[in-house]
Chain A
Amino acid sequence: MSHHKETFITKYIFSQDHKMIAKQYLITGIIMAVIGGFMSMLFRLQLGFPDQHFTIIEAFLGKEGMTPDMYMGLVTIHGTIMVFFVLTAGLSGTFSNLLIPLQIGARDMASGFLNMISYWLFFISSVIMVSSIFVHTGMASAGWTVYPPLSALPQAMKGSGLGMDLWLVSMAIFIAASLLGSLNYIVTVLNLRTKGMKMTRLPLTIWAFFITAIIGLVSFPVLLSAALLLLFDRSFGTSFYLSDIFIQGEVLHYQGGSPILFEHLFWFLGHPEVYIILLPALGITSEVISSNSRKPIFGYRAMIGSIMAIAFLSTIVWGHHMFVTGMNPFLGSIFTFTTLLIAIPSAVKAFNYITTLWKGNLQLNPGMLFSIGMVSVFISGGLTGLILGDSALDINVHDTMFVVAHFHLVMGVSALLGMFAGVYHWFPKMFGRMMNKTLGYIHFYLTIIAAYGVFFPMHFTGLAGLPRRYFSNAAFPLFDDLMPINQVITIFALLGGFAQLIFLANFFISIFKGKKATQNPWRANTLEWTTPVEATHGNWPGEIPAVYRWPYDYSKRDENGNLWEGKDYTPQTVPIRPGEEEF
Chain B
Amino acid sequence: MKALFYIILFTAIAATIWQIVKLLGLTKNDQIATKKENNINGWLMLGTMVFLYVLMIYYMFFGGRDVLLPRQAGSEEGEHIDNLFMMTMGLILVVQFITQFLVYYFTFKYRGNIDRKAAFFADSHKLEMFWTLTPTVVLSGLIIYGLWTWSLVQDVTNKKDDPIYIELYGKQFQWEARYAGKDNVLGEANVRNIKGMNTMGVDMNDPYSKDDITVLHEFHIPKGRKVIFQLRSQDVLHSAYMPHFRAQMNCVPGMKTYMGYTPALTTEEMRKNPDIVRKVAGINKIRAEKSKELVAKGEDPLEPYEFDYLLLCNKICGAGHYNMQMKIVVEDEADFNKWLASKKTLAEKLN
Footprint of B on A, CB under 8 Å? 67-69, 72, 142-143, 147-150, 153, 156-158, 242-247, 251, 256-260, 293-302, 324-326, 329, 332-333, 336-337, 340-341, 343-344, 347-348, 350-351, 353-355, 357-365, 368-369, 372-373, 375-376, 379-380, 383-384, 386-387, 390-393, 395-396, 398-400, 428, 434, 437-438, 441-442, 445-446, 448-449, 452-453, 456-457, 459-461, 463-465, 467, 469-473, 475-478, 480-485, 487-488, 491-492, 495, 515, 517-518, 521-522, 552, 554-557, 563, 568, 583
A344 and B135 contact, Cβ closer than 8 Å, known pairs A258-B254, A400-B314, A464-B67? yes
A396 and B16 contact, Cβ closer than 8 Å, known pairs A156-B236, A296-B120, A359-B118? no
B36–chain A nearest beta-carbon distance, Å: 11
Across the two chains, which residue of chain A brings its CB closest to B1?
Answer: A484
Q: Are A457 and B64 in contact (CB under 8 A)?
A: yes
Q: Are B37 and A364 in contact (CB under 8 A)?
A: yes
Whether a CB of chain A sits under 8 angstroms from the CB of B154 is yes
Given contacts A246-B171, A492-B9, 14 further A-B contacts (CB under 8 A): A156-B236, A258-B255, A298-B121, A324-B249, A360-B110, A361-B112, A393-B84, A396-B243, A437-B33, A437-B37, A469-B322, A475-B325, A491-B9, A554-B118
Q: Are B67 and A568 in contact (CB under 8 A)?
A: no
By a CB distance below 8 angstroms, the chain B residues around A400 are 314
- In the bound complex, what is the Cα–Cα distance between A67 and B320 (angstroms)? 11
The A-B contact count (CB < 8 A) is 411
Q: Are B149 and A392 in contact (CB under 8 A)?
A: yes
Across the two chains, which residue of chain A brings its CB closest to B231?
Answer: A326
Across the two chains, which residue of chain A brings its CB closest to B257?
Answer: A326
Across the two chains, which residue of chain B brings its CB closest to A373?
Answer: B48
Q: Are B120 and A554 in contact (CB under 8 A)?
A: yes
A61–chain B nearest beta-carbon distance, Å: 15
Across the two chains, which residue of chain B brings its CB closest to A322?
Answer: B250
- In the bound complex, what is the Cα–Cα distance between A164 and B318 (angstroms)? 14
Whether a CB of chain A sits under 8 angstroms from the CB of B23 is yes
Across the two chains, which residue of chain B brings its CB closest to A448?
Answer: B48
Whether a CB of chain A sits under 8 angstroms from the CB of B339 is no
Whether a CB of chain A sits under 8 angstroms from the CB of B56 is yes
Q: Looking at the complex, which one of B68, B88, B113, B172 makes contact with A156 (CB distance below 8 Å)? A: B172
A349–chain B nearest beta-carbon distance, Å: 10
Report which residue of B2, B32, B38, B55 has the largest number of chain A beta carbons within 10 angstroms of its beta carbon.
B32
- In the bound complex, what is the Cα–Cα distance between A257 and B253 (angstroms)? 9
B93–chain A nearest beta-carbon distance, Å: 9
Q: Are B68 and A471 in contact (CB under 8 A)?
A: no
Q: Are B99 and A379 in contact (CB under 8 A)?
A: yes
Q: Are A340 and B143 in contact (CB under 8 A)?
A: yes
Q: Are B33 and A354 in contact (CB under 8 A)?
A: no
Q: Looking at the complex, which one of A72, A149, A368, A482 makes contact with B67 (CB distance below 8 Å)? A: A482
By a CB distance below 8 angstroms, the chain A residues around B287 are 477, 480
By a CB distance below 8 angstroms, the chain A residues around B192 are 244, 246, 251
Q: Are A246 and B88 in contact (CB under 8 A)?
A: no
A396 and B81 contact, Cβ closer than 8 Å, known pairs A68-B322, A295-B118, A325-B257? yes
Q: Are A247 and B172 in contact (CB under 8 A)?
A: yes
By a CB distance below 8 angstroms, the chain A residues around B103 are 353-354, 357, 372, 375-376, 379
- In the bound complex, what is the Cα–Cα distance between A495 and B106 (angstroms)? 28
Q: Are B69 and A463 in contact (CB under 8 A)?
A: yes
Produce 1/0 per residue, B133-176, CB < 8 A to A. 01110010011001101110110000000000000000110000
Across the two chains, which residue of chain B brings its CB closest to A356?
Answer: B121
Q: Are B247 and A445 in contact (CB under 8 A)?
A: no
Report which residue of B45, B78, B325 has the largest number of chain A beta carbons within 10 angstroms of its beta carbon.
B45
Produce 1/0 per residue, B56-85, CB < 8 A to A. 100100011011110000000010110011
Q: Are B146 and A478 in contact (CB under 8 A)?
A: no
A182–chain B nearest beta-carbon distance, Å: 29
Binds A, one of B123-131, B178-186, B341-349: B123-131
A399–chain B nearest beta-carbon distance, Å: 5
Q: Are A259 and B31 in contact (CB under 8 A)?
A: no
Q: Are B253 and A242 in contact (CB under 8 A)?
A: yes
Q: Are B32 and A365 in contact (CB under 8 A)?
A: yes
By a CB distance below 8 angstroms, the chain B residues around A350 are 99
Q: Are A470 and B322 in contact (CB under 8 A)?
A: yes
B286–chain A nearest beta-carbon distance, Å: 5
- In the bound complex, what is the Cα–Cα distance between A369 and B81 (angstroms)? 39
Q: Are B146 and A391 in contact (CB under 8 A)?
A: yes
Across the two chains, which residue of chain B brings its CB closest to A461?
Answer: B67
By a CB distance below 8 angstroms, the chain A residues around B329 are none
By a CB distance below 8 angstroms, the chain B residues around A465 are 69, 241, 243-244, 312
By a CB distance below 8 angstroms, the chain A residues around B84 are 390, 392-393
Whether a CB of chain A sits under 8 angstroms from the CB of B237 is yes
Q: Are A390 and B246 in contact (CB under 8 A)?
A: no
Report which residue of A69, A347, A555 has the largest number of chain B beta carbons within 10 angstroms of its beta carbon.
A347
Within 8 A of A (CB), among B302-323: 302, 305, 310, 312-323
- In the bound complex, what is the Cα–Cα distance between A245 and B92 (angstroms)? 43
B14–chain A nearest beta-carbon distance, Å: 12
By a CB distance below 8 angstroms, the chain B residues around A491 are 5, 9
Whether a CB of chain A sits under 8 angstroms from the CB of B283 is yes
- In the bound complex, what is the Cα–Cα distance between A357 and B279 (angstroms)? 44
Q: Are A438 and B88 in contact (CB under 8 A)?
A: no
Q: Are B123 and A299 in contact (CB under 8 A)?
A: yes
A481 and B250 contact, Cβ closer than 8 Å, known pairs A448-B48, A555-B118? no
- In the bound complex, what is the Cα–Cα distance between A379 and B49 (angstroms)? 13
In order of increasing CB-CB distance, the 9 nearest A-B pairs are A243-B254, A326-B257, A465-B243, A460-B64, A364-B41, A246-B191, A475-B323, A329-B154, A296-B122
By a CB distance below 8 angstroms, the chain B residues around A448 are 48
Report which residue of A355, A434, A441, A481 has the largest number of chain B beta carbons within 10 angstroms of its beta carbon.
A481
A257–chain B nearest beta-carbon distance, Å: 7
- In the bound complex, what is the Cα–Cα distance between A396 and B249 (angstroms)? 10
- In the bound complex, what is the Cα–Cα distance between A485 and B131 (angstroms)? 36
Q: Are B100 and A246 in contact (CB under 8 A)?
A: no
- In the bound complex, what is the Cα–Cα distance between A395 and B242 (angstroms)? 10
By a CB distance below 8 angstroms, the chain B residues around A251 are 191-192, 194
By a CB distance below 8 angstroms, the chain B residues around A333 are 147, 150-151
Produce 1/0 per residue, B321-337, CB < 8 A to A. 11101000000000000
B19–chain A nearest beta-carbon distance, Å: 7
By a CB distance below 8 angstroms, the chain A residues around B243 are 396, 465
- In the bound complex, what is the Cα–Cα distance between A488 and B55 (angstroms)? 12
By a CB distance below 8 angstroms, the chain B residues around A583 are 122
Q: Looking at the complex, which one of A158, A244, A445, A460 makes contact with B190 (CB distance below 8 Å)? A: A244
B350–chain A nearest beta-carbon distance, Å: 18
By a CB distance below 8 angstroms, the chain A residues around B256 are 326
Q: Are A258 and B67 in contact (CB under 8 A)?
A: no
Q: Are B253 and A360 in contact (CB under 8 A)?
A: no
A383 and B283 contact, Cβ closer than 8 Å, known pairs A260-B255, A344-B139? no
Across the two chains, which residue of chain A brings its CB closest to B49?
Answer: A376
Report which residue of A153, A362, A383, A563 has the largest number of chain B beta carbons within 10 angstroms of its beta carbon.
A362
Whether a CB of chain A sits under 8 angstroms from the CB of B248 is yes
A343–chain B nearest beta-carbon distance, Å: 6
Selected A-B contacts with CB under 8 Å, 10 pairs: A243-B253, A299-B127, A340-B139, A359-B118, A380-B96, A392-B153, A400-B314, A488-B2, A488-B63, A568-B118
- In the bound complex, what is the Cα–Cα distance between A487 and B37 (angstroms)? 34
Q: Are A390 and B316 in contact (CB under 8 A)?
A: no
Across the two chains, which residue of chain B brings its CB closest to A368?
Answer: B33
